[in-house]
């Protein structure tokens, strides 16, 4: 090669490498011989079924076992399951659905729908996904019929079509309590606010931390206190409408009582170190037997049992009121569900997977492992947490945060969160905080006018 032609060849080679690199990636496998790009029979050709789920140790453990079983029954289907933190699920769902490199996604029950009285708000992300045509319509699939019509309607339906089969409800406005410590200190499970205050004083006098939670993550603190909001405002959808229309204010007399109790909850009941405990470490702290109570959701039960199978514990609604009848509710939400990517090339395999997952025997095993309150009518929650919450399920209510959407322009304190109080936040005075929360909300409401 001459000296003159060498640079030309090098330049052309570099250019061709660059153009090759910039070429579109082959997202889906090349069509099989004969030009059949989409073979309808999932069983016929090798398929890699890509799943995206959020981190929940007992659920992931169950899924791994189920996937093994499923692959053995369908040798042509390989399940590739990715696990991400719950807080990253929305991001991963968005990017992977957009890139069309996922077939089945774990989505939380549809919530926070825009109501007619709301102005200047954004649609929730599940609605954005549906409207972008990224979730498949599951209406008419036989496995959908295995789930209770009410759960399909409440947690998976949009615009008359079903986009999700929801796998279970959870409750989060309750408190785990250590029965042995209660017995040893002659304390009965409290059914009213005053009894709860007295119980904490007894434990503190005995040098036993009264209550713990995963305060480092912020939300576990206020989730536990939803019982306080619920005992005052049992109609949570009505509370959201009242806040939007101005009939309810976070600094009115009724709400002020809630803030005062939240201050007691965060500063007198909760152990100060709770602010440094991560959400997934809190069950271990309670399971150690060192703390009398743990404010948290039903999903923590299996982690507590795994950490200390010998621990004798119970679960009760957070008694936010001095009238025991006001404390009969358990608030919660529809948790994990399955949705199929609308543009998936492996839709048949995805439907086969969901069909087998939804088989009543498999679903029962899932519920037993994860501890969800079932959404299939034939399933029962035979675990300890199931027994503990069973008496309150007729008073199950979907919680406030499942309805709430903040107006644009609202400040960062426009929420009824106990974690705004010291030591988790910066506020010490209930009235000052109540006024700040209402002012932050009002700023958004005024901007929406």
Partner 1 sequence: MNYHFGRGFSRWIPYLLLLPGILLYFVIALGPSIATSIYSFTDATGLKGAPVNWVGLDNYREFLLLGQAAKNNLAVLGRTLIFSVLVSSIQFVLGLLFALVLNQRLWGRNVVRTLVFMPVILGAVIQGLIWSLFLYPLGGPAAKLLELVGLKSQFLGGSPMEAFLWVVVVQIWANLGVTMIIFLAGLQTIPSEYYEAASIDGASGWQAFKNVTWPLLTPSVNTNILLNVIGSLQAWQLFLVLIGYRAGTQVLGYLIYATGFGAAGSLTQSFRQGYAAAASIVLFILVLIIGMTIQTYLRRREERIMA
Binding site for partner 1 (CB under 8 A): 4, 7-8, 10-12, 14-15, 17-18, 22, 86-88, 90-91, 94, 97-98, 100, 112, 121-125, 128-129, 131-134, 215-219, 272-278, 285, 405-406, 408-414, 419-420, 422-426, 439-440, 443-444, 446-447
| Nearer CB in complex with partner 1: 15/150 | 15
| Nearer CB in complex with partner 1: 341/379 | 341
| Nearer CB in complex with partner 1: 186/426 | 426
| Nearer CB in complex with partner 1: 87/377 | 87
Tell me the helix, strand and coil percentages in the chain, rounded to 5: 50, 15, 40
Min CB(284)–partner 1 separation in Å = 10
| Nearer CB in complex with partner 1: 70/404 | 404
Min CB(444)–partner 1 separation in Å = 5
Min CB(18)–partner 1 separation in Å = 4
**How far apart (Å, rounded) are the C-alpha atoms in residues 211 and 206?**
13
Min CB(131)–partner 1 separation in Å = 7
**How far apart (Å, rounded) are the C-alpha atoms in residues 402 and 369?**
25
For 397, which DSSP code? Answer: E
Min CB(385)–partner 1 separation in Å = 24
**How far apart (Å, rounded) are the C-alpha atoms in residues 8 and 14?**
10
Q: Cα dihedral sign for 267, 273, 276, 280?
A: negative
For residues 413 and 437, the answer to whether their CB atoms sit within 8 Å is yes
Q: Cα dihedral sign for 61, 65, 68, 71?
A: negative
| Nearer CB in complex with partner 1: 195/280 | 280
Residue whose pair of structure tokens reads 């069950």 in the numeric block: 283
Candidates 438, 302, 275; CA nearest to 372 is 302
In the numeric block, which tokens belong to residue 376? Answer: 């299939």
Min CB(100)–partner 1 separation in Å = 8
Phi, psi of 157 (to 5 degrees): -105, 140
**How far apart (Å, rounded) are the C-alpha atoms in residues 124 and 388?**
33
């Amino acid at each position: 090669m001459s000296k003159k032609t060498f640079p030309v060849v090098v330049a052309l080679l570099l250019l061709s490498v660059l153009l090759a690199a910039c070429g579109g990636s082959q997202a889906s496998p090349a069509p099989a011989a004969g030009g059949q790009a989409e073979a309808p029979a999932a069983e016929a050709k090798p398929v890699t079924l890509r799943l995206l789920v959020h981190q929940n140790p007992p659920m992931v453990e169950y899924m791994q076992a189920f996937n093994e079983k499923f692959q053995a029954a369908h040798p042509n289907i390989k399940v590739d399951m990715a696990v991400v933190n719950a807080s990253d699920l929305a991001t991963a769902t968005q990017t992977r659905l957009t890139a069309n490199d996922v077939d089945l996604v774990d989505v939380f029950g549809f919530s926070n729908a825009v109501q007619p009285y709301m102005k200047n708000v954004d649609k929730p992300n599940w609605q954005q996904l549906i409207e972008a045509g990224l979730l498949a319509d599951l209406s008419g699939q036989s496995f959908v019929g295995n789930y209770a019509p009410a759960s399909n309607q409440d947690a998976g339906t949009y615009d008359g079509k079903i986009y999700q089969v929801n796998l279970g409800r959870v409750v989060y406005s309750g408190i785990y309590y250590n029965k042995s410590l209660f017995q040893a200190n002659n304390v009965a499970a409290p059914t009213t606010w005053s009894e709860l205050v007295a119980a904490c004083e007894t434990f503190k006098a005995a040098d036993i931390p009264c209550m713990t939670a995963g305060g480092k993550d912020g939300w576990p603190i206020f989730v536990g206190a939803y019982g306080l909001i619920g005992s005052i405002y049992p109609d949570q959808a009505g509370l959201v409408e009242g806040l939007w229309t101005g009939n309810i204010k976070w600094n009115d007399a009724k709400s002020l009582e809630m803030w005062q109790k939240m201050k007691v909850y965060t500063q007198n009941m909760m152990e100060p170190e709770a602010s440094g405990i991560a959400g997934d470490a809190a069950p271990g702290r309670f399971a150690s037997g060192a703390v009398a109570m743990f404010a948290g959701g039903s999903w923590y039960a299996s982690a507590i049992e795994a950490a200390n199978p010998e621990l004798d514990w119970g679960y009760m609604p957070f008694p936010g009121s001095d009238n025991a009848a006001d404390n009969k509710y358990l608030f919660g939400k529809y948790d994990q569900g399955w949705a199929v990517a609308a543009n998936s090339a492996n839709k048949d395999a995805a439907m086969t997977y969901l069909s087998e997952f939804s088989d009543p025997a498999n679903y029962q095993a899932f519920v037993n492992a994860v501890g969800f309150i079932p959404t299939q009518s034939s399933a029962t929650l035979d675990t300890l947490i199931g027994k503990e919450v069973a008496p309150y399920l007729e008073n199950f209510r979907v919680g406030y945060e499942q309805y709430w959407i903040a107006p644009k322009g609202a400040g960062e304190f426009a929420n009824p969160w106990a974690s705004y109080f010291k030591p988790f936040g910066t506020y010490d005075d209930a009235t000052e905080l109540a006024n700040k929360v209402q002012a932050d909300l009002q700023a958004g409401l005024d901007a929406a006018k």
